[in-house]
Amino acid sequence: MSKTEKDRTVLITGGAGFIGSNLTRKLLLEGATVRVLDNCSRVGVLHNVQWLQELDTPGTLELIRGDVRDAALLRSAVEGTAEVYHLAAQVAVTTSVEDPETDFHTNAAGTLNVLEAVRRQPVKPFLLYTSTNKVYGSLDGVPVRRAATRYESVDRTFNGVHEGEPLDFHSPYGCSKGAADQYVRDYARIFGVPTVVFRMSCIAGPRQFGNEDQGWVAHFLYSVLAGKPVTVYGDGLQVRDILHVQDLLNAMEAARTHIRGIQGEVYNVGGGLERSVSVQEMLATIGKRTGIAPKLTYGETRPGDQPLYISDTARLQGDTGWRARYSVDDILSSIQTFWKENQEVIGGRLKALEPLLVGSAA
C-alpha cells in the first residue's frame, strides 16, 4: 500500500446506508481509512454495519454513531480528512410533509453543519453532496404526452433534464434538499471549499432494502418476489432513469479526480435516456424476470410527482469523461442476487411493514 493510500482519511455521513455502504466498501478496498457517521435509524443499516465490519480489506473502518444535527460531533469527525461525502439525509417526501421541521433540521441545517466543519479545516477537504432531482419540482416546463406504456416528451430533441432547468422546490423535502444544494454550491464560491453537487435520479443496486419512498425498483422486485401487493400511484406511466450504484461510485471518483476544474459545479446524475423506464414497464419486466405476475392496486397521483424525469448527464460526461456502464437488466440482476443472499433480513422487513407495502416512482 502506498503512503498516499495509507494516509487517505475519508468521512462518509450516512455511510451505513445503501449508497454509503457501497462507497465505504470501495474506499476500504482502496486502502483508505473510512469514518462512517450514521445515526443507524434506517431499516437495514445495522445489517450493513455488520457486513462492513466483516470485510477483509486493506483499509481501516471507523464507526461513529451520531447525527449530522450534532455540529460538535461533525467538527471532530471532519478533522484530518481529505474527502467528505455527505450522504446523510431525511429522504422521503411523505415524511417531510408529516414532519417538515425534522426534515429541515436534518437536510438543510445538517448540511450547513457539515459545510462549517469542512470550512474550518486548515486544508479544506473535497466535499461531494448528494442532492436530488426533486429540486426541479413537477417540471411543468417539460411538456409530455401519453404513449402506450409511458409518458414521453413532446420535444423530439429532448435528451433529458439539464442543469439549467429552473429550480422549483415542490415539497418540504425539495425545499430542504434544494436549500442545502445551494449552500454547498455557494460555499465553493464564497469560502473556496472544493465542492461538487450531484442532483441524482433513481439509484439502484445491492444493499438497497427498498421502500415506498426510496428505492422503488428494489421495493417492486422484493414485493413481487414475496407475493406482496404493489400500489401504483397514478396511471403508472411515470418515467425515471435508473443508475446502478457502481456507476454512481465511478461518477464520484471522476468528480474527485477532476475537482480542480469543476469546483463548485452542480451535475445531474442518472442513467439517461438509455436507462429510462416507466413504472408500468418496470413492473412488466420484473414479472417476466421472476415469472410472477405483480399484484397491483392503484392510488391517486401524488402532488408534485414528475410525469417524466430523465437526467441529461452531458455536462458530467464532458467535464470528467464519466459514462454509465450498467444496463437496467444488470441493475435488476444485482438486486435479485442481493435478495437471494439476504432473504431472511429482507423478508423479515417486508413482513414487519406489510401494511405499508405500497410503491411509487421515487
Backbone angles phi, psi at 290, to 5 degrees: -90, -20
Give the separation between CA 331 and CA 203, rounded to whole angstroms. Answer: 9
Cα within 13 Å of Cα(70), Cβ side: 14
Instruction: Take residue 317 and report the three cell numbers written for it.
Output: 460526461
Give the separation between CA 358 and CA 219, rounded to whole angstroms. Answer: 9
Give the separation between CA 184 and CA 110, rounded to whole angstroms. Answer: 12
* Helices 110-119 and 71-78, axial angle in degrees (round to 10): 40
Give the separation between CA 209 and CA 311, rounded to whole angstroms. Answer: 24
Q: Is 140 helix (H, G, I), strand (E, B) or coil?
A: coil
Kind and range of the H or E run holding 62: strand 60-65
- Catalytic residue, chosen from 173, 183, 233, 326, is 173
| Residue among 290, 277, 140, 111 nearest 202 (CA) | 277
Instruction: Take residue 123 and report the three cell numbers written for it.
Output: 486544508
Mark residue 229 as left, alpha or beta (left: phi above 0; alpha: psi -120 to 50; beta: remaining).
beta
Q: Which residue has the cell 425539495?
A: 174
* Strand 144-146, strand 151-153: pairing: antiparallel
151 is catalytic: no
Give the separation between CA 143 and CA 140, rounded to whole angstroms. Answer: 7
| Residue among 166, 116, 179 nearest 139 (CA) | 166
Give the separation between CA 225 and CA 230, rounded to whole angstroms. Answer: 11
Give the 3-state DSSP-derived string for 232-284, with helices as H, strands as E and coil as C. Answer: EECCCCCEEEEEEHHHHHHHHHHHHHCHHHHCCEEEEECCCHHHEEEHHHHHH
Give catalytic residues, as residue numbers: 173
